[in-house]
Amino acid sequence: MSYTPPPSGYLVPAAPGSTPRPATVSVSALLLYVISAILLLSAAISVYTFSSMPEGLIEDIYRDAGMDASLAESTATIATVTAYVTAALYVALAVFFVVLGLFVNKGKQWARITTWVLTGIGLCCIGFGLVFQGLGSGLGSSSAGGIDQKEVTDRLAEVAPAWSVAVGTVLNVVLLLSMLGVIIMLALPPSNAYFRKPAPEWTPPAYPTV
């Protein structure tokens, strides 16, 4: 019987998902789903608010603030279209955040990085928005092109459903906290270990059996 030398050992990459998912990753994925739900609610509120306004009301508000009739009409149209486009963007982002949550749970590094980028941008935008909203009540009237912008803002708030402003503010606060929580959870050591590429596993050489 001739001798066959045993094959040398070799490295085999560890199976994907072999590392148990830590609670920090599970919580971050859950928060991504919460963010998605808030975006959908915000989109629904925006569409409902504009659709419930009487036709021509926004145009009248701009005209009463001193805007030319033709310009008021085009501005009102732009404002309405912007609201619906923003709502559609919120829906698209909501779907994308759900996808990110699914892949974050699977330990995909690209999903973690994308989540950091999107939530970081959102954190800045929402934070500045809440600050300016809080300061807005203490600021005087400002005008651009002869239009009293504060009057327009106040009139739009008056014709919107009474609950929409309060609910919108609460949703923004929850959204802000959720995004901050996602960023922190994905940066903690247990999450780092989960997203780290697993080291190849050593497979010992196989010897022939007699």
Residues of the chain with pLDDT under 70: 1-18, 66, 133-151, 197-210
- Separation between Cα atoms, residue 106 and residue 194, nearest integer Å: 9
What is the reported pLDDT for 200?
A: 55
pTM value is 0.77
pLDDT in tens, 144-198: 555 666 667 777 777 777 788 888 889 999 999 999 999 999 999 999 999 986 6
DSSP state string for 132-167? HHHHHTTS---EETTEEHHHHHHHHHHHS-HHHHHH
Asked if 91 and 42 touch (Cβ cutoff 8 Å), the reply is no
Q: For residue 11, how far is the Cα from the chain centroid?
A: 40
What is the reported pLDDT for 129?
A: 78
What is the reported pLDDT for 119?
A: 95
Of 114, 86, 85, the closest CA to residue 99 belongs to 114
What is the reported pLDDT for 163?
A: 83
